[in-house]
Structure 1
Amino acid sequence: MPFRPQRPHSIAASWSRILGRFTLLLAFMALVLHRAGVLDLPNAVAAILLASGLAIAVLGLSMIGFFMLWHVGAKGGHASFSGMVMALMVLIPVGIAASRYVLLPTIHDVTTDVMEAPEWLEPPVLELSWIKRSNGGDAAARDLQTLAYPQVTGRRYEGAIDRVLLAVRAVVQENKWTPVAHVGVEALVDGLEPVPESAGEGEPLSNGEVDPARAPIPAPRPDIENESVEALPTFALMQYETKTLVLGIPQDVLIRLVEEEETTFVDMRAATRDGDHDLGLNAELIQTFLRDLDIRLLGIAGG
């Protein structure tokens, strides 16, 4: 009768798959609940850190399973591979975030004007949590920003402030930012020409006959010489709030427009609400917005 050796079963491999499923589910649920607004950011970070610790343990168990498979032929190769893949699905994004945390400066407030940063119209609401939070607008933080993000600077456009305001509002609408407060925008918007409605909507087509009821009524000629003309404001401030696309991290954004002679200067400020580190998100937001604004105002951008 032939001898058939019995292959042992690797307990570590089995546990790597079981814990891997739990770890991946924990990280995924923390992300989904935070994105839905059910779980705030500090608690979501705590859950993801816990999942990362479990993922390291899962990776160790899967390595033990591979070792047992190689040396004694223990069953559990598929389980070890499954556990390793699920652990890496958690550890790779966390590792990318950790590398940005180490390589980028510890700041959470970025502005294009480090000397005179725009002041918030409505200070962002900050909630105390276990994540440390310090003043991000001091001189030391601005020096760190200058060294890390020298390319984050304002824009000067050859054009009136109302034209630049139109482009800014268009880019804001594309990004779907939520308005919070604004100053100096109403007077500029009132002076802008309304967008003409498409022909044929809400009005009957003319049949060529003259209709006395629709004849234009002459208006009195304005007295330009004696009538006082109110000057348009030369500055505008707009504050918005938004969230990152994937992680849903809340950010506050402030845009300042200042008209100087025949040019308009645009400054921005962006800040996250939790922790001392923004992982470079604020600088990316400002650079992306200004790049889109340059495209809108193509040909009149200056330094």
Structure 2
Amino acid sequence: MRLYENLSKRAAWSYRIAVLSVLVFGGAFVWHRFFGLTTPLALKIMGAAIAGAIIAVFVAIAGLVAIWNNGDRGAERAAAALFLAALVLAVPLWSLPALLTLPRIYEVTSDPGAPPAFDRVARIRQGQANPIRYDAAFAPLQAQAYPDLKPLVVQRPLIDVYTSVRDVVKTLNWKILEEQAPEATKAGHIEAVDKTLLFGFVEDIAIRVTGNAKSARVDIRSSSRFGQHDLGRNAERVRRFMTEVKNRLAALERLERMERVVAARQAEEKEKAKPQSKPANRRRDAN
């Protein structure tokens, strides 16, 4: 009976709270990632679990102090509570540097003055989703934090660039919602959706390709459907997309250069293989 009397209540409660926090956080994660729990509700549940983990940490520390001073039992439970709480707090702690150093924006674009428009996405974003209209206040914040996000201008025919862009979208496994190939009076336009690797948060993407038979320009807009801080994810997505497009166009240029070299060599070989023309008849000796 004395064993139960000397068990630290703070240690016991910290363990209970930590276990509950892990179960709630893990349940919300699985439910959102695989079974369609809405992102706003998932964020609220995870937020509650994180708050519980923080409480568990403070209660566990208080329990360890009491155990040290009074000699009560329960140090193992308090230590286990700290470990379980650390599992829940790992995600927000990992995101903390980005949260503190990067601007509080949820979308970026290569053309803040006239970002690619959302059409199909506009019919999807409902309820608590972020607005589809680009917030002009994001432009100076983006320029300061991500000065490298610029339009891609290349000296290639418009249709070639659009084809390469579409291939890159497929390579990156983005789900295409709507697309419009470039026409005489219309720019090429693609709307797609990507999901974050771990939590499956939805990010909407709009791509615009303009130009003519000699040159083309590529603009992109990447926007988090929910949440007010993207932690830099959209900027990384734009960088990856632009890099892939540049690499694909460079590969296409190398292939065309090789084809020209091969064609020139074949033409040269054909020229050499032609039979030599017969020499002109010599004039007869004069009598």
By how many angstroms is 1:99 displaced?
4.4
Q: 1:250 aligns with which of 198, 202, 221?
A: 202
The question of whether the paired residues in 2 share the 8 Å contact of 1:152 and 1:286 is answered with yes
Q: 2:43 aligns with which of 24, 42, 45?
A: 45
d(CA) in 1 for partners of 2:83, 2:133: 39
Partner of 1:190: none
Larger Rg: 2
- 2:177 maps to amino acid: V
Does 2:9 match 1:57?
Answer: no
- 1:270 maps to amino acid: S
The question of whether the paired residues in 2 share the 8 Å contact of 1:235 and 1:257 is answered with yes
SS at match of 2:218: strand
By how many angstroms is 1:289 displaced?
1.4
Does 2:181 match 1:241?
Answer: no
Does 2:126 match 1:127?
Answer: yes
Does 2:124 match 1:172?
Answer: no
The question of whether the paired residues in 2 share the 8 Å contact of 1:16 and 1:58 is answered with yes
By how many angstroms is 1:127 displaced?
2.6
d(CA) in 2 for partners of 1:120, 1:274: 15
Partner of 1:217: none
Q: Unpaired segments of 5 or more residues in structure 2? A: 254-287
Q: 1:147 aligns with which of 123, 144, 147?
A: 144
- 2:152 maps to amino acid: R
By how many angstroms is 1:60 displaced?
1.1
Partner of 1:115: 113
The question of whether the paired residues in 1 share the 8 Å contact of 2:25 and 2:46 is answered with yes
1:246–1:78 Cα change, 3 Å = same
d(CA) in 1 for partners of 2:186, 2:54: 57
d(CA) in 2 for partners of 1:150, 1:282: 14
By how many angstroms is 1:171 displaced?
2.0
List per-residue Cα deviations over 1:156-181 (Å, max 9, x = no partner): 23322333233322222222211111
1:233–1:160 Cα change, 3 Å = farther
The question of whether the paired residues in 2 share the 8 Å contact of 1:108 and 1:136 is answered with no
d(CA) in 1 for partners of 2:69, 2:158: 74
Q: TM-score, normalised by structure 2?
A: 0.77
Partner of 2:231: 279
> Greater relative contact order (Cα 8 A, min sep 6): structure 1 or 2?
1
Q: Compute the RMSD of aligned alpha carbons.
A: 2.7
- 1:298 maps to amino acid: A
d(CA) in 2 for partners of 1:86, 1:251: 30
The question of whether the paired residues in 1 share the 8 Å contact of 2:28 and 2:45 is answered with yes
d(CA) in 1 for partners of 2:225, 2:173: 19
- Please state which structure has a larger fraction of its residues in helix: 2
The question of whether the paired residues in 2 share the 8 Å contact of 1:7 and 1:75 is answered with no
SS at match of 2:103: coil
The question of whether the paired residues in 1 share the 8 Å contact of 2:125 and 2:225 is answered with yes
Q: TM-score, normalised by structure 1?
A: 0.73
d(CA) in 2 for partners of 1:50, 1:123: 30
d(CA) in 2 for partners of 1:158, 1:75: 74
- 1:127 maps to amino acid: Q
Moved over 4 A (4+): 133-136
The share of aligned pairs that are identical, in percent, is 26
Partner of 2:266: none
Partner of 2:260: none
Number of residue-to-residue matches in the alignment: 250
d(CA) in 2 for partners of 1:158, 1:240: 26
Partner of 1:205: none
The question of whether the paired residues in 1 share the 8 Å contact of 2:190 and 2:208 is answered with yes
The question of whether the paired residues in 2 share the 8 Å contact of 1:107 and 1:136 is answered with no
SS at match of 1:44: helix
SS at match of 2:37: coil
Q: What pairs with 1:194-273 in structure 2 (closer than 5 Å)? A: 235-260=187-212, 262-273=214-225
List per-residue Cα deviations over 1:241-266 (Å, max 9, x = no partner): 12111111111111111225533221
List per-residue Cα deviations over 1:166-200 (Å, max 9, x = no partner): 33222222222111111225x7xxxxxxxxxxxxx
